[in-house]
């Protein structure tokens, strides 16, 4: 068993131990009126899972008592979903409609017992007579009909003598019951409609409350597990089975919490609206929470089942963060799928000093994944890189290719930009570059430093592919309807360029496109000539950040303060789930600012890394800052297992900043080294002589030198241009190779300038 014992399994075990049942029989009883969604997956996992864990069996029963909404295509979709999740139903698929004759007999039996009657009130009267929560109902005068009259009328109902709604069959229970469901519930109604299986054989159809318990009984079900909204129906369930005095053993009903997920709608009715209104491409649209949708998008059954396992079985309804589901699929694919390169928005790069071509062998898997295999990557003079991976005027923290910064081509060489070509509108159309022949990955002797590695493809050999980027279907956490649809939930890229092995070798259906996310070859639209890939999920949760950005700013002090308005920090927390909220509160207690606290709280990986680091060195704020910037950036590029450094080393690094051994600027360099070599920070600092200089006697000459070199600026400062203070501090830091302690520099510069 994969999980701790939940309350249902506890009950099942007790029932087996006490000998109440010899064998466990459960059932999954969907109404075939739509495609199953992830909520159904939870129910499937519970019902089939329990049967499997206790060597019993689980029936798949189509609860098809509503002729106007049901269809065989939904039956097929339900069967597919169960099989796809890896379960097998007992015997053949069952249908409630197959029990219609038997159910009819039970109804006759109830009438004969004086426990059911034909009522001739209309719908509205029935509602009125039912009373309210605070008021008892009153019984219809038709309840006094004799058994014979009831039998005769019921038979006529069945024979089609009456119109829809003229009569109903009701149980005779208690019109003043506290549980309103027990106020003479309806058992049968007249519906002159064609049923997709029984055709026109019946024009009376049993109601859920009547059909469900008896179908369970007919099938020998022991544990009838359903969702919480049926809690009040349990009394009818029991009443019917007991009143009919059926031979034991009989089934019992148990309820668990329905699954809800944020950023989506879940009921089949709402999903049907999206399908019928063409807001999506069909029931299997990869943005829908249907199992057909997840499957087409590239989710694995393992990920879905893991998710069901993680959320557990509870008795209180709650909404689960969709990020948790996304985590499960990422987690599953991370260890499984080959990594390849695909350029979504190609920018041509011509490497002018490269002639000819070569094949570079590159592993499909990172070294920490227990799988082996490699492909040959063609490399040549003309390649494509991602448009985003070049910037002519980069911001400070940009680590990819720029006119002044070389970059490594993943698995290949380091290149440097030599020229930027633009069209008449100023849009960059091509980069001219040079490569360093001795910088090849794995045998790099060039000594050239790069800050990141980018993906690329060889222009001639790359294949054109269509990429469908999916995002959440709704833009708000608790969508009301179509007005909340996310207009950017689908983006189609017609001409992405992918390395040829993906198409020619077809090693897998799913791939990680380096730095982009996980992708799945669309099972329907993809062809050899026109391959199509669906984005399954990104490499990390891009919404955690968006949420943060969406945080409303704190109210301006001048604005009148609305009553009951929570402070901004509490608002951040409002969009967090319970676990995240708990972490957030804890981090605020550690005095992290709310931005840092939110980032950590929303990212389980980062947060656990933080906790590990904290247990090594208790400096909550400095550690958090290092982790949400440097470590988080590394994690954007690779999974946590691929990091060369661990929490302990980060703790050592931060400690060296805290006790002024190194400056925070140097710490960045050390961090770069750590993330490449995995060496301890102290070792790196030692090796490279990076220890911070705090001794004023050593810094003083550097300050003097800077002043001497910049007599003009010195004069300007003395003439009143105080802005130049920063310039001098910066120059001194630079001239010290970043090693001077900034505080000491500040003090010295100030002192000397005031002289
Ligand atoms: P919907 O409102 O989406 O149509 P439903 O409850 O009407 O759902 P059924 O086809 O009748 O759907 O359900 C089949 C089984 O799946 C039932 O036992 C039901 O309790 C369970 N189920 C349906 N939705 C969920 C959910 N969101 N979470 C857990 N179980 C669910
Ligand atoms: Mg329903």
Tell me, yes or no, whether 330 lies in a domain. Answer: no
Indicate the pLDDT class of residue 571, thresholds 50, 70 and 90: very low
Pocket test for ligand 1, best of 32, 33, 42, 43 (most atoms within 8 A of CB): 43
> End-to-end CA distance of the chain, in Å?
77
Two structure tokens written together for 287: 């943005």
Residue 27 CA to residue 8 CA, distance in Å, equals: 14
Q: Pick the residue whose CA is nearest to atom 24 on ligand 1.
A: 39
Contacts of 73 (CB under 8 A, 6+ apart): none
Predicted local confidence at residue 566, as pLDDT: 36
**Residue 445, phi-psi category: left (phi > 0), alpha (psi -120 to 50), beta (remainder):** alpha
Ligand 2 centre to CA of 286 (Å) is 22
**Given a cut of 90, is residue 556 above it in pLDDT?**
no
- Nearest CA residue ID for atom 14, ligand 1: 30
Write down the pLDDT at residue 730: 85
Give the residue among 704, 695, 692 at the shortest CA–CA distance from 732.
704
Distance (Å, whole) CA 253 – CA 47: 12
Identify whether residues 280 and 260 lie together within a single domain: yes
**How confident is the model at residue 550, as a pLDDT?**
43
CA distance 589 to 583: 10
User: Residue 642 — φ and ψ, nearest 5°?
Assistant: -90, -5
Determine the Cα–Cα distance for residues 77 and 665; give it in Å rounded to an integer: 58
The residue contributing the CA closest to ligand 1 atom 16 is: 40
Output the pLDDT for position 427: 94
Residues 165, 69 share a domain: no
Enclosing H/E stretch for 746: helix 742-754
Residue 629 CA to ligand 1 center (angstroms) comes to 43
The confidence score (pLDDT) of residue 546 equals 53
The CA 39 to ligand 1 mean position distance, Å, reads: 6
Query: Catalytic residue among 31, 273, 509, 634, which?
Result: 31
Its domain, for residue 600, covers 552-688
pTM of the model: 0.74
Interval 458-465 mean pLDDT: 97
Residue 39 has pLDDT above 50, yes or no: yes
* 193, 226: one domain: no
pLDDT digits (tens, 9 = 90+) for 414-431: 999 999 999 999 999 999
- 455 HSE (CA, 13 A, CB side): 22
In a domain, 1, yes or no: no
For residue 268, what is the domain's CATH number?
3.40.50.620
Closest Cα to residue 645, out of 603, 616, 604?
616
- Confidence label for 249 from pLDDT (cuts 50, 70 and 90): very high
Domain-embedded: residue 328: no
103 domain-assigned:
no
In a domain, 108, yes or no: no
| Arithmetic mean of pLDDT, 99-116 | 98
| Residue 570: pLDDT band with limits 50, 70, 90 | very low
pLDDT of residue 637: 74
Residue 567 has pLDDT above 80, yes or no: no
CA–centroid distance, 360 to ligand 2, in Å, is: 56
Nearest atom, ligand 1, residue 225 CA: 18
- Tell me the CA–centroid distance for residue 31 and ligand 2, in Å: 6
pLDDT at residue number 572: 37
Q: 650 and 508, same structural domain?
A: no
> Does the annotation mark 747 as catalytic?
no
545 compared with 519, residue with greater pLDDT: 519
Q: Which ligand is closest in space to the CA of residue 266?
A: 1
Residue 387: is its pLDDT beyond 60?
yes
User: Domain tally for the chain?
Assistant: 5
Check which CATH number belongs to the domain holding 722 and give it.
1.10.10.410
Indicate the Cα dihedral angle 122, 123, 125, 127, nearest 10°: 160
Task: Please say if 31 is a catalytic residue.
Answer: yes
Is residue 583 located within the same domain as residue 471?
no
* Mean of per-residue pLDDT scores for the chain: 91
Task: Quote the pLDDT of residue 575.
Answer: 67
Q: Is residue 104 part of a domain?
A: no
Is 331 part of a structural domain of the chain? no
| Residue 69 Cα to ligand 1 middle (Å) | 15
Looking at the fold, whether 567 and 650 belong to one and the same domain comes out as yes
Probe target for ligand 1 pocket from 30, 62, 233, 293, with the most ligand atoms within 8 Å of CB: 30
Average pLDDT of span 427-442: 96
Residues 521 and 564 in one domain: no
Pairing of strands 57-62, 25-28: parallel
> CATH number, domain at 352?
2.40.240.10
Q: Does 2 score more than 80 pLDDT? A: no
Residue 250 three-state SS: coil
Tens digit of each residue's pLDDT (9 = 90 or more) over 165-212: 999 999 999 999 999 999 999 999 999 999 999 999 999 999 999 999
641 pLDDT more than 70: yes
**Which ligand is located closest to the Cα atom of residue 74?**
1
| CB-based pocket (< 6 A), ligand 1 | 29-31, 39-40, 42-43, 63, 226-227, 258-259, 266-268
- 55 C-alpha to ligand 1 centroid (Å): 25
Could you tell which of 213, 227, 262, 308 is best to mutate to test the pocket of ligand 1, judged by most ligand atoms within 8 Å of the CB? 227
Same-domain pairing of 507 and 361:
yes
Q: 402 pairs with which residues across the strands?
A: 405
Q: Are residues 348 and 275 in the same domain?
A: no
Above 60 in pLDDT, residue 615? yes
Q: What's the CA gap between 639 and 366, in Å, rounded?
A: 10
CA pair distance 465, 485, nearest whole angstrom? 27
Distance 271 CA to ligand 2 centre (A): 12
CA distance 338 to 363: 9
Task: Give the pLDDT mean for 636-659.
Answer: 87
**Cα–Cα distance for residue pair 125/173, rounded to 1 Å:** 18
SS3 56: coil
Select which of 172, 183, 268, 739 is catalytic: 268
| Cα 30 to middle of ligand 1, angstroms | 7
Catalytic residue among 20, 115, 258, 668: 258
Count other C-beta atoms under 10 Å from residue 690's C-beta.
Answer: 21
Q: Which of 551, 578, 604 lies at the terminal end of a domain, its last residue? A: 551
Give the integer Cα–Cα distance in Å for 610 and 603.
10
Q: Which ligand is nearest to the CA of 270?
A: 1
**Which atom of ligand 1 lies closest to the CA of 267?**
3
Per-residue pLDDT band at 141 (split at 50, 70, 90): very high
Tell which atom from ligand 1 comes closest to the C-alpha of 43: 30
Q: Tell me, yes or no, whether 260 and 159 share the same domain.
A: no
Q: What percent of the chain has pLDDT over 70?
A: 95
Q: Which atom of ligand 1 is nearest to the CA of 29?
A: 14
Ligand 1: which residue has its CA nearest to atom 12? Answer: 30
Q: Around Cβ 725, how many Cβ atoms within 10 Å? A: 14
Cα 302 from Cα 76, distance rounded (Å): 21
Of 289, 320, 351, the one marking the end of a domain is: 320
650 alpha-carbon distance from chain centroid:
29
Does residue 42 contact residue 259 with C-beta atoms inside 8 Å?
A: yes
Q: Region 558-585: what's the mean pLDDT?
A: 55
Write a three-state SS string for 57-105: EEEEEECCCCCCCCCHHHHHHHHHHHHHCCCCCCCCCEEHHHHHHHHHH
Look at residue 544 and tell me if it is in a domain. yes
Q: Whose CA is nearest to atom 9 of ligand 1?
A: 30
Protein residue whose Cα sits closest to atom 7 of ligand 1: 31
Kindly identify the ligand whose nearest atom is closest to the C-alpha of 64: 1
> Looking at the structure, do residues 546 and 558 belong to the same domain, yes or no?
no
472-492 tens-digit pLDDT: 999 999 998 899 999 999 999
Rg of the chain over all Cα atoms, to the nearest angstrom: 34
Tell me the CA distances in angstroms from 594 to 277, 391, 580, one per residue in order.
Answer: 41, 31, 13
- Atom number of ligand 1 nearest to Cα 266: 3
* Residue 43: Cβ within 10 Å count: 20
By the 10 Å C-beta count (0-12 exposed, 13-18 middle, 19+ buried), 217 is classed as buried
What is the atom index within ligand 1 of the atom nearest the CA of 227?
20
Domain end call among 320, 354, 373:
320
Token duo for residue 361: 């062998």
Catalytic residue flag (residue 127): no
Show Cβ contacts of residue 356 under 8 Å, excluding neighbours closer than 6 positions. 380, 381
The CA-based diameter of the chain, rounded to the nearest angstrom, is 117
Residues 20 and 69 in one domain: yes
Kindly report the protein residue whose alpha carbon is nearest to atom 2 of ligand 1.
267
Do residues 106 and 116 lie in contact, with contact meaning Cβ atoms separated by under 8 Å? no
Q: At 166, phi and psi to the nearest 5?
A: -70, -40
Q: Give 268 or 367, the one with higher predicted confidence.
A: 268
């Amino acid at each position: 068993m994969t999980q701790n014992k939940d309350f249902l399994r506890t009950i099942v075990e007790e029932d087996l131990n006490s000998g109440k049942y010899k064998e466990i029989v459960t059932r999954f009883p969907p109404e075939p009126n739509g495609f199953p969604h992830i909520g159904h997956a939870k129910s499937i996992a519970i019902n089939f899972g329990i049967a499997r864990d206790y060597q019993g069996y689980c029936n798949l029963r189509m609860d098809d008592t509503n002729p106007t909404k049901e269809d065989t295509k939904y039956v097929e979709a339900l069967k597919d979903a169960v099989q796809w999740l890896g379960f097998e139903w007992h015997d053949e698929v069952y249908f409630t409609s197959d029990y219609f004759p038997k159910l009819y007999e039970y109804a006759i039996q109830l009438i004969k017992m004086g426990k059911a009657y034909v009522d001739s009130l209309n719908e509205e009267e029935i509602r009125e007579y039912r009373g309210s929560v605070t008021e008892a109902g009153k019984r219809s005068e038709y309840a006094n009909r004799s058994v014979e009259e009831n039998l005769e009328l019921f038979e006529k109902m069945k024979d089609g003598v009456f119109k829809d709604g003229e009569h109903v069959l009701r149980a005779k229970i208690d019109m003043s019951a506290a549980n309103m469901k027990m106020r003479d519930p309806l058992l049968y109604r007249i519906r002159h409609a064609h049923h997709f299986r029984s055709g026109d054989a019946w024009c009376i159809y049993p109601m859920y409350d009547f059909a469900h318990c008896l179908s369970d009984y007919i099938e020998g079900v022991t544990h009838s597990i359903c969702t919480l909204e049926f809690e009040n129906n349990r009394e009818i369930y029991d009443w019917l089975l007991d009143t009919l005095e059926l031979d034991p053993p009989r089934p019992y009903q148990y309820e668990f919490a329905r699954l809800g997920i944020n950023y989506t709608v879940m009921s089949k009715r709402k999903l049907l609206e999206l399908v019928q209104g063409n807001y999506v491409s069909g029931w299997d649209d990869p943005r829908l929470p249907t199992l057909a949708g997840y499957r087409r998008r590239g989710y694995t059954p393992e990920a879905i089942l893991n998710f069901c396992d993680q959320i557990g079985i509870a008795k209180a309804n709650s909404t689960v963060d969709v990020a948790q589901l996304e985590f499960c699929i990422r987690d599953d694919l991370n260890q499984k799928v080959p990594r390849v390169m695909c350029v979504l928005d190609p920018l041509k790069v011509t490497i002018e000093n490269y002639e000819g071509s070569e094949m570079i062998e590159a592993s499909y898997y990172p070294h920490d994944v227990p799988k082996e295999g490699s492909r040959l990557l063609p490399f040549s003079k003309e390649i494509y890189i991602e448009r985003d991976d070049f910037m002519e005027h980069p911001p400070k923290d940009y680590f990819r290719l720029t006119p002044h910064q070389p970059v490594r081509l993943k698995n290949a060489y380091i290149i440097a930009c030599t020229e930027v070509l633009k069209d008449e509108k100023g849009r960059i159309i091509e980069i001219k570059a040079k490569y360093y022949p001795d910088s090849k990955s794995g045998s790099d002797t060039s000594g050239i430093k790069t800050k990141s590695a980018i993906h690329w493809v060889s222009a001639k050999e790359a294949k054109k592919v269509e990429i469908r980027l999916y995002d959440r279907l709704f833009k708000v956490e608790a969508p009301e309807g179509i007005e909340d649809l996310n207009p950017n939930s689908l983006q189609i890229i017609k001409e992405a360029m992918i390395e040829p092995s993906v198409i020619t070798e077809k090693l897998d259906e799913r791939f990680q496109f380096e730095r982009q996310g996980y992708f799945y070859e669309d099972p329907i639209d993809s062809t050899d000539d026109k391959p199509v890939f669906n984005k399954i999920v990104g490499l990390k949760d891009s919404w955690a950040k968006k949420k943060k950005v969406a945080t409303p700013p704190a109210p301006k002090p001048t604005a009148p303060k609305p009553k009951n308005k929570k402070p901004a920090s509490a608002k951040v927390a409002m969009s967090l789930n319970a676990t995240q909220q708990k972490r957030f509160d804890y981090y605020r207690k550690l005095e992290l600012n709310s931005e840092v606290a939110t980032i950590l709280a929303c990212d389980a990986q980062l947060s656990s890394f933080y906790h590990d680091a904290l247990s090594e060195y208790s400096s909550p704020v400095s550690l958090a800052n290092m982790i949400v910037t440097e470590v988080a950036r590394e994690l954007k590029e690779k999974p946590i297992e691929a990091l060369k450094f661990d929490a302990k080393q980060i703790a050592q690094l931060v400690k060296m900043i805290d006790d002024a051994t190194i400056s925070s600027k140097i710490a960045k360099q050390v961090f770069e080294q750590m993330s490449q070599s995995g060496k301890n920070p102290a070792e790196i600092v030692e090796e490279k002589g990076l220890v911070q200089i705090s001794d004023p006697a050593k810094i003083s000459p550097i300050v003097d030198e800077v002043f001497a070199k910049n007599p003009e600026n010195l004069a300007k400062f003395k003439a009143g241009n105080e802005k130049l203070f920063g310039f001098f501090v910066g120059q001194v830091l630079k001239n010290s190779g970043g090693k001077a302690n900034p505080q000491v520099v500040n003090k010295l510069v100030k002192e000397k300038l005031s002289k």
